[in-house]
Structure 1
Amino acid sequence: MSHDQQVDTPRAPDSPGGWDPRSEELVAEAALVREPAAWRGTVAGAAGTGPAKPARRGAVDPVKALMHRHRELCERAVDPLEIAAGLEAHGVTDRTAARFRHRDVFALAEEMYARVPRDEEERGAPAPAASRRGPEGPTGWALFALLPGAVCGLAAAGVELSAGHTRYAVGLGGALAVAAALRVALRRGPLRAARHVPPATHAWSCFLVAYALFGDGLLRAALSGGPDGPWAPSTAAALALSLAVAPAVWCARLFAAGARRRLSLSRGLADFTSAVRPLLLGTVALYVCALGALLVGAGAVYGVPASAGAGALGALLLLARLLSSYGFLRAPLLMLGAAGAVEVVCLASVFAARLPGVAWLAAPVEEAVRAWGPGAVPVVACGAAAGVLLLHCLRVLGRASAHGDGAP
């Protein structure tokens, strides 16, 4: 077949529209094999051995085929970085870009952006502020974030002022009211989930919160031979975690706005990643400081030390919800489940050690509690899970594709 003859674009018959991402690499390879004359002209011009001949984009034009594949992305893009983010989200890497004769994904996106037909006014128009995706919410989200803390404060005051069976009724009603307020705050604020969160994620989150309220007392009673009766929940931890919803929402908004601003200013994917990762670390550190202050203040009000386990849980819940707000649901489910499983195993080992011949099962938990107190269990479980989620956040939220219009 001569070079002037039409070369068919490879197509995957199984995929909708006759294309799948592997076709991009096949097109590039076909271009490299079937356009040797164009390459020889380009190389000769670069080496200075003769006049440079422009690479012919005739029958085989892999970039044009790629533009056709991502036509909607190219047409709505307001700058090359938005196209680069979309390509990154579809799995196009620098190695793939090299097959299209570009040094990296951003260089490939720049050519695609330059070749998209559009009006001159549209080409020169600045990117609108609302064109970037960000986990914002309806107006009033900043005030809705205060609801869980306010409702929990009223419920805690009601519990303190009541007695007997009325106290249990007030506590149960307060817990339901706090859950409803939390649902409103998360559904309307920057931490709203981008997709439907699996029920298991909610279940593990509820279990971890319940352990933060009752787990330390239950573990202490179990190690002393009980439990012999009801034990008081950690009201200070409940109040601090509820009040911490507001700084969590505000920090999420701060991160989203900062990431979009850096996305509009960056001139490459690596440039954006190096700018957004310190922003994420600073946002998490700011929230942890706010949560620590709330735990210390709540502990001072109720005359108990600040709960480090509740602090680790708060960091874990923030990172899990932040990932969910950008559409990443699997890692939060796994880490919340892992932290909950560790706490369940620790409690179960203490009760199982009462069976004959297996007293050694409770030895690790007993040593940890003896050295650091019952709060060591949630600190280790939730702290380790939060560390893993933080590393995952740095990886996935450091991509430009997580913050673009087409982000999941």
Structure 2
Amino acid sequence: MHRHRELCERAVDPLEIAAGLETHGVTDRTAARFRHRDVFSLAEELYARVPRGEATVSRTPADRADRPGPASWALTVCAPGAVAALATLGLALGTGGLRLAAGAIGVVGLFAGLVVAVRRGPLRVTAGTPTAAPLWTLGLLAYAAAGDGLLDQVLRGGPDTGPVVVTALDGPVAAADWAFDTAPLLALALSVAPAAWCAHLFAVRARHRLAASRGLADFAAGARPLLLGTVALHLALLAGLLALTGFHPGALALGALLLIARLLAVHGFAETAARALGAACAAELLALASVLAARLPGLDVIGAPVRELVRLGGPAALPALVCGCAALALLTHATEALSRASAHA
């Protein structure tokens, strides 16, 4: 009680104490030395015996007010999809300067919509996001829209050669130095709302599981399939959106990577998520650089892996492989990190 008094005084329920004890290395075996069957039982006694002052009582309503309910964030998470749909419609119907204006406004609006969506509701990170994480995310989204076309042009000897093409839902609509595909961005923007609801479902179900568990191992055993089910649900919804806008395997892998990274960031592992996003973005850029470097005399072997990958699966195989591997590695880490009670305090 003396060692963890500050934790017990500010806790609003025994579960918060149990999660805090776990972060300090207290296990069920440790709790047994104090004649308790598990950490949860020990936390309940600490919660009952340590008094909480007025500061803690006055803090609770503010904490609850800081957590917006579904009605307050349901519309904000729909903003990116709405902006992306309007921008895509403008690109498809506009001509000349109107099309250029629609594209510019769409980029700015999409960025603003994403900022609003991740600052409220279940996608909100309360502990702070690494400054580089938004840059890596924007880099990955930019590659999803223009990377495949650029890689194809580079492999063909461009990008200064060949026609300028921008593809939308109904095919080519404009000219550019390389193919610019809005379909993956549209599907990913529309998937922000389902991702938020999946994150909300995961948080609520994990909290209920924490309340019903009678040990750390019991909670971990239930949290792992809950996380896998949440990711699978989001992938199914994103696949459905991609089926409507134009299926792109790289966008599907990127959607999984972004969701898992956000879940980790929301639950206190923002640095790990940022490193995974940065590694994926760097891998895509290095792949493009290797193809360009292969043009130099004697360096043809550098671009051979990327050329062979594109030959087997097309330009979309590169982001699918990179983002898929990053998502799989991050999911492996998340199954361990998010199965701890401390991640849901």
Structure 1 residue 189 and structure 2 residue 136: aligned? no
Equivalences, count = 322
1:108 CA drift (Å): 4.0
Residues 25-40 of structure 1 mapped to structure 2, 5 A cutoff:
none
1:103 CA drift (Å): 6.5
User: Could you tell me whether the CA contact under 8 Å between 2:83 and 2:113 is conserved in 1?
Assistant: yes
The aligned counterpart of 1:346 is 287
Question: Matches of 1:132 and 1:163 in 2, distance apart?
Answer: 50
Question: Matches of 1:268 and 1:95 in 2, distance apart?
Answer: 11
Structure 1 residue 250 and structure 2 residue 218: aligned? no
Question: Matches of 1:173 and 1:298 in 2, distance apart?
Answer: 21
Residues 27-66 of structure 1 mapped to structure 2, 5 A cutoff:
none
User: Could you tell me whether the CA contact under 8 Å between 1:74 and 1:113 is conserved in 2?
Assistant: yes
1:136 CA drift (Å): 4.7
| Consecutive unaligned residues in structure 1, runs of 5 or more | 1-66, 119-128, 300-305
User: Could you tell me whether the CA contact under 8 Å between 2:150 and 2:179 is conserved in 1?
Assistant: no
1:93 CA drift (Å): 3.5
The aligned counterpart of 1:399 is 340
Q: 1:78 to 1:175 in 2, by over 3 A?
A: closer
User: Which of the residues 209, 219, 239 maps onto 1:292?
Assistant: 239
User: Could you tell me whether the CA contact under 8 Å between 1:343 and 1:377 is conserved in 2?
Assistant: yes
User: Could you tell me whether the CA contact under 8 Å between 1:84 and 1:106 is conserved in 2?
Assistant: yes
User: Which of the residues 228, 242, 246 maps onto 1:281?
Assistant: 228
1:264 CA drift (Å): 1.6
User: Could you tell me whether the CA contact under 8 Å between 1:132 and 1:403 is conserved in 2?
Assistant: no
Which range moved further: 263-272 or 281-290? Answer: 263-272
Residues 2-401 of structure 1 mapped to structure 2, 5 A cutoff:
67-75=1-9, 80-94=14-28, 96-97=30-31, 105-106=39-40, 108-109=42-43, 111-113=45-47, 115-116=49-50, 136-138=67-69, 139-227=71-159, 228=161, 230-299=177-246, 306-401=247-342
1:149 CA drift (Å): 0.7
What TM-score, normalized by structure 1, do the two folds share?
Answer: 0.73
Q: 1:284 to 1:102 in 2, by over 3 A?
A: same
Q: Which amino acid aligns with 1:137?
A: P
Question: Matches of 1:101 and 1:269 in 2, distance apart?
Answer: 17
1:218 CA drift (Å): 0.4
| Consecutive unaligned residues in structure 2, runs of 5 or more | 53-59, 165-176
Q: Which amino acid aligns with 1:204?
A: W
Question: Matches of 1:189 and 1:109 in 2, distance apart?
Answer: 29
The aligned counterpart of 2:172 is none
Q: 1:254 to 1:315 in 2, by over 3 A?
A: same
1:324 CA drift (Å): 1.3
Which runs of structure 1 show a deviation greater than 6 angstroms over 4 or more consecutive aligned residues?
A: 129-135
User: Could you tell me whether the CA contact under 8 Å between 1:145 and 1:185 is conserved in 2?
Assistant: yes
Q: Which amino acid aligns with 2:116?
A: V
Q: Which amino acid aligns with 1:74?
A: C
CA RMSD of aligned residues (A): 2.5
Question: Matches of 1:367 and 1:133 in 2, distance apart?
Answer: 54
1:341 CA drift (Å): 1.2
Q: 1:111 to 1:144 in 2, by over 3 A?
A: closer
Q: Give the match's secondary structure for 1:226.
A: coil
Q: 1:251 to 1:134 in 2, by over 3 A?
A: farther
1:231 CA drift (Å): 2.0
User: Could you tell me whether the CA contact under 8 Å between 2:150 and 2:178 is conserved in 1?
Assistant: yes
What TM-score, normalized by structure 2, do the two folds share?
Answer: 0.86
Q: 1:255 to 1:133 in 2, by over 3 A?
A: farther
Q: Give the match's secondary structure for 2:189.
A: helix
1:131 CA drift (Å): 11
Question: Matches of 1:132 and 1:102 in 2, distance apart?
Answer: 30
Question: Matches of 1:249 and 1:131 in 2, distance apart?
Answer: 23
User: Could you tell me whether the CA contact under 8 Å between 1:134 and 1:260 is conserved in 2?
Assistant: no
Q: 1:232 to 1:271 in 2, by over 3 A?
A: same
* Percent of residue pairs identical: 59
Question: Matches of 2:37 and 2:14 in 1, distance apart?
Answer: 15
User: Could you tell me whether the CA contact under 8 Å between 1:155 and 1:171 is conserved in 2?
Assistant: yes
1:130 CA drift (Å): 8.9
Q: Give the match's secondary structure for 2:223.
A: helix
Q: Which amino acid aligns with 2:21?
A: L
Which range moved further: 79-88 or 361-370? Answer: 79-88
Question: Matches of 2:157 and 2:261 in 1, distance apart?
Answer: 36
Question: Matches of 1:271 and 1:221 in 2, distance apart?
Answer: 53
Q: Give the match's secondary structure for 2:75.
A: helix
Question: Matches of 2:62 and 2:131 in 1, distance apart?
Answer: 32
